[in-house]
Structure 1
């Protein structure tokens, strides 16, 4: 999917919790990738279409060291084929005992202009990856290699990552709270609504900080709250 630059900018200005609320209003309850965290603080937010890689339990006769010499090996191919601006999302079976990738492969993604990488497993060389300043999310640091447990098997197919369904081309948003998956067909309207929600939440935060209670304000069940918000928005250019 081609992500409009203005939509990308809107998503970078909102949080994953706000997007989760916008998705929940539309009946989507399982779009947050569970159990992943950034290796280092993410600024600005990670945004891009999903390009996927699926791992399965390794079978010993098909997952020997020499398989990585094959230029068509799914892990190697995913690293070289993931488009610039996309996010590589890996289904590692929520198993961080063996690595999904290491610092050399993640550095290659960064140098190719990929927007970020997510696995529901773990990375080796996690301290080195953290120093790259590149958006990278995992469950926890992993053992040195993936040979013992994981076998890369499919590229750019529908996957599950941290219990979230991820289809190629879905839009991935990652910030310091986590990662959420936005269905591609909804991304423009979700981004627009999330910007509106963020403006109101900023107004509410300011009011609560000044001592106001939340009844009628959050959510805005009092008509006066909406009038006061409109005035605040005009004053602040929001």
Structure 2
């Protein structure tokens, strides 16, 4: 059973960094394929989504098994996953990168919001996307999709390893989303990646200020000139970073 308890200090660190910075931190460790492809925010939030992954997997629909009757079963995997996803987690769906049929609609995502879920991600599409965009819960998909998922795919199982947007996602991995997209941080690396990303973000903020003042990036980014680090230390002390 996955331990869905993300340390609050680590969560706060992730909330202050970007997916771009996290991608660089993981690239340093040889992880090159952690950014979920072709997945975008339904509506930009201007804030960072953070939570451990709770997964749901779809397979191609088979007409004799995937009828309207299946939704009368309280154990239907899609409905059960919505009710089982722990508060503070992110529901991540493997929809086979197929947005022709909806992974979910506004009612199910409203239920996730009411249950305190931190966000929802699919590599397929959502129906009712204008309504979802007005909810508080961060939601990410490939593109809008009006048809029901019954037409093309069916929910099979949840809380298992999946693929989402060509990225492997294990239950408990840390999912971070911003206005650029969504990245997956392996659970066992979460604390060290978060700590490093905070340091990287501080230096990048310093660099951005210096560049806008007209300073050259040579010796500054990366910090190959010792003076750059000396200037950064003074900037950090002055800005409480």
Quickly name the TM-score band, shorter chain normalised.
over 0.9
State the alpha-carbon separation in 1 of the partners of residues 34 and 103 from structure 2: 21
C-alpha contact 2:100 2:147 (8 A) present in aligned 1: no
**Is the counterpart of residue 235 in structure 1 residue 230 in structure 2?**
no
Deviation string for 1:168-189 (max 9, x for gaps)? 0000001111100000011011
C-alpha contact 2:6 2:52 (8 A) present in aligned 1: yes
1:137 aligned residue: 140
1:197 aligned residue: 200
2:73 aligned residue: 70
Residue ranges of structure 1 left out of the alignment (5+ in a row): none
Deviation string for 1:102-132 (max 9, x for gaps)? 0000000000000000000000000010011
Deviation string for 1:116-174 (max 9, x for gaps)? 00000000000010011220000000132111101100101000000111000000001
2:60 aligned residue: 57
Deviation string for 1:50-80 (max 9, x for gaps)? 0000001001111011001011110000001
Number of aligned residues: 238
- The aligned runs of 1:78-93 (5 Å cut-off) are 78-93=81-96
C-alpha contact 2:113 2:136 (8 A) present in aligned 1: no
C-alpha contact 1:39 1:130 (8 A) present in aligned 2: yes
State the alpha-carbon separation in 2 of the partners of residues 210 and 44 from structure 1: 27
* DSSP-derived class of the 1:51 partner: strand
2:37 aligned residue: 34
State the alpha-carbon separation in 2 of the partners of residues 144 and 75 from structure 1: 16
Q: What is the root-mean-square deviation of aligned Cα atoms in Å?
A: 0.8
Question: What is the TM-score of this pair, normalised by structure 2?
Answer: 0.97
State the alpha-carbon separation in 2 of the partners of residues 95 and 143 from structure 1: 13
- The aligned runs of 1:77-226 (5 Å cut-off) are 77-226=80-229
C-alpha contact 1:52 1:156 (8 A) present in aligned 2: yes
Question: What is the TM-score of this pair, normalised by structure 1?
Answer: 0.98
C-alpha contact 1:45 1:174 (8 A) present in aligned 2: yes
C-alpha contact 1:40 1:133 (8 A) present in aligned 2: no
State the alpha-carbon separation in 2 of the partners of residues 102 and 5 from structure 1: 30
C-alpha contact 2:173 2:185 (8 A) present in aligned 1: yes
Residue ranges of structure 2 left out of the alignment (5+ in a row): none
